[in-house]
A and B are shown apart, each in its own frame.
Chain A
Amino acid sequence: MTRTDPLDVPRPDAQLHLGVFFQGVNHWTIWSDPASGSQIDPANFRRVAQTAERGLFDAFFLGEGLRLREVDGLIHDLDVAGRPDALTQLAALAAVTDRIGLVSTSNTTFNEPADLARRLSGLDLLSEGRAGWNVVTTDNAWTGANFRRGGYLDHADRYRRAEEFLTVARALWDSWEDGVVSGSAGAPAWAALGAVRQVRHQGPQFDVDLAPTLPRSAQGHPVIFQAGDSGEGRDFAARNADVIFSAHGNDFDDALAFADDLRRRLRAVGRPDDDLRILPGTEIIIGATEEEAQEKKRWIRLQQVTPATALGIAGLLWRLDLSGRDADGPLPKEDPVVAENDGSFGARRIVDPRQVVAEWREKADANRWSLRETVIALGPQRGHVGTPAGLADKFAHFVRHGAVDGFNVTPYLIPDGLDDIVDLLVPALQERGVYRTEYTGTTLREHLDLRAPLTHRSTTDHRQAG
């Protein structure tokens, strides 16, 4: 990619933001390599968070698990599984990091707002304003089987609940006036009288009446992240979120179309169109030369898509048990089965498996691919591959044209998977003036260059620069 003259681009001064996602419970995380460390050892969490902090990342993210993945009623055994409770692990990392944001993925379907808001507030105080909350929802009874709340929310209700959940959480976070706690042991009261407000909320989902136990943090309240991709999810983000994760970070035109769409939605709800950071999830593979990077990618894909994983992925598409077949042989001759979705991991929404299988057959025949090669070539594509300089040019182009604000990187190896990015890519980005050379703020909100929380603004604040 050629470098663009900064004067020709819409956002010549735009800065790239990086986050790290530890750690997908999916086949992208390599566990078979000798360099692959424990997925639960606290030392590895510390190592990745501290490496990201050394690389001046905005944030460290943890996903959430509420039920182990299953395929056809059997626990999925091919991928990394087992992880800590996100908020608890992040509270520990608050003690061993200074600047990096700590973002917890926490579910609104199987939590209650007063409890979760308090936990997030606690993380925000213990990290002195570095907490974030990735708001997710669940819509299936299968996950509900682990909860006394149980039950099922349909797709629309889950967002209604999430939105009211956020409203309650924000009311709780805003219930203490700033500076209410006394600065002197000789004061007549621990907190100024009347400065802590009782929160009363009565709505279709929640009926809350209580005195919250925590003040605002250095950043007001936790930064809100969201990852919806449906129209409904994007509107939810436009109304509520500070940052959106997306799956639109590989192809420039696709990323730009997504970003433009979100900017339209932001304007439609009366927010400035630069009020939301767009951080697609991605994988970054770095080599000293383009050839080396491509060779590394081939190796990584073979580690990720083992023969059993290839058969598993194809089995999900065909809805057939293909274990025992030869992954290095041809595609299955059978037609795929069209099955009901029970909500478990194995029942992904594949719109029309017959059409996908037909495409796979055609391309496999044309290229003489085995089943495994077909899965690698045609399965979900992701990530960026290249040299530090090439990737830095590419990312500068993405960010200066407003296609993304940055990336949320998932390392394919724990705990060393970030080292190349921090040691090689970050300096290349810095040389191009598109990445910070030091943290200039202390809070996550400052790192992301965000305005005050949505509930702390008057309409005029919207026009102030971020």
Chain B
Amino acid sequence: MSGPALRLALEIDGDGAHPASWRRSAHSPDHLLTPRRVARVAAGAENAGFTLLTLEDGALPPGATPDAVGRIGAVERAAFIAASTSVVGVAPVVPLTYAEPFHVSSQLASLDHISVGRAGWVVSEETRAEAASVWGRPLVDGAEARALESRDGVEVVRALWDSWEDDAVIRSVATSRYLDRDRLHYVDFTGDTYAVKGPAIVPRPPQGQLVVLGQPDRVPAGQLDIALVEGRDLAAVGASAATAGTPRVFAEVEVALDTADATAEERVADLERHAPWSDRGRLRHIGSAAGLAALLGELRGVVDGVRLHPLVLDEDLPELSRLVLPHLFERRHAVRPLPGASLRTHLGLDRPANRYAAAAAQEDAR
């Protein structure tokens, strides 16, 4: 198989993709929610050569007893990681089912400033009914209603990112003006259920717009930079990728690797005694590092990148770092991000023009 080199993303929430992953972790459970743990995982993934780290989230506990029920907010973790890394991109999961788009826009724009242009955003949904109570809002019931909230929310967040033109701060000493107010814009969004005025309080993010990731059947393709596609085999992934309609497509891949102590099969079986690794219809590789490298090689040409979901971070990340990623880099099947570049640059995405500046320029040209 041939094709352009892949970009590699890694989901690093909790102890891994399996709900019982904490049982095989190298640290004790009470270290999960510490800064050292958060920084160590991020540093390991950055050093391995991943382009992007994603952080799953939700306002409710991530699992149920006896498994882990604790989780620090993804935006806070992402900001902490951004300040303790220098190259890797970082994208928190933020659902808009109930959240205030103005706050979400400010938080994510701030993350892009903090990381100097390395931020992304995974748009998700709050599907659990109890989440409505977290937000003091009426239940958003059904897939269609949730998709509507995501659509409106992403629209508002993106509009607010553009509400400051890049050169809005002029510091004109002669006229005493810090801002050129003509370069700030009210977004004046009016949807079915709410309206937002703007402009943002945070200047435009360094990337202009953060890299927005999501499922193409849940968020309009025009609002996504990267579609996250599923499928149990290459054909299914290929079919989803072909119809995604987004600038980039990443395949979701669940991974359990052989280690020195146990085979991947044994590791999965050990955890399955405690809880099932639910089948979400994604590609799943349980086996050797070489097998995974071969599978990823085959995905070139089908997708632009992959997001890996390791069974147990403490066991699988070292194998990915030691065997899989070097194999891919050596053959130029995947690309390691370069220092000093933005996440958009790493992904081959242009820095978008500002919708309001573009409109103003058109106006001038008439």
Contacts and interface: CB of A to CB of B under 8 A. Distances in A.
Contacts of A80: 178
Interface stretch (B31-39, B250-258, B283-291, B322-330): B31-39
A207 B201 contact: no
Interface string B263-282: 00000000000000000000
Contacts of B72: 121-122, 125-126, 214
A206 interface: yes
Nearest to A87: B76
Interface stretch (B107-115, B208-216, B219-227, B233-241): B107-115
A31 to B, nearest CB: 5
A115 B75 CA distance: 12
Contacts of B102: 66, 146-147
Given A75-B179, A119-B73, A181-B29, A92 B82 contact: yes
Contacts of B47: none
Interface in A135-193: 145-150, 179, 181-191, 193
A77 interface: yes
Given A95-B39, A115-B99, A82 B201 contact: yes
A74 interface: yes
A: interface residue count bin: 35 or more
A127 B32 CA distance: 14
Contacts of A193: 65-66
Interface stretch (B19-27, B296-304, B354-362): B19-27
Given A67-B201, A95-B84, A185 B179 contact: no
B32 A213 contact: no
A210 B134 contact: yes
A307 B100 CA distance: 39
A112 B99 CA distance: 9
B355 to A, nearest CB: 18
Given A126-B72, A185-B23, A110 B100 contact: yes
Interface residues of B, number: 78
B79 A88 contact: yes
Nearest to B168: A82
A273 interface: no
Contacts of B113: 40-42, 84
Contact of B25 (A68, A87, A185): A185
B33 A88 contact: no
29 contacts: A42-B83, A83-B201, A84-B113, A84-B202, A85-B107, A88-B111, A92-B83, A92-B114, A112-B135, A115-B59, A115-B134, A118-B59, A125-B33, A145-B195, A145-B197, A148-B100, A181-B30, A183-B28, A185-B28, A186-B23, A187-B29, A190-B22, A190-B65, A193-B65, A211-B60, A211-B61, A214-B72, A215-B70, A308-B175
Given A123-B76, A191-B69, 13 more contacts: A32-B173, A78-B178, A84-B114, A87-B107, A88-B106, A91-B77, A92-B114, A146-B102, A183-B28, A190-B65, A190-B70, A191-B65, A191-B68
Q: Which 6 A-B pairs have the closest CB atoms?
A: A308-B176, A189-B66, A148-B194, A65-B201, A84-B110, A92-B83
Interface of A: 31-32, 39-42, 46, 65-68, 74-75, 77-85, 87-89, 91-96, 110-112, 114-115, 118-119, 121-123, 125-128, 145-150, 179, 181-191, 193, 196, 206-211, 213-215, 306-309
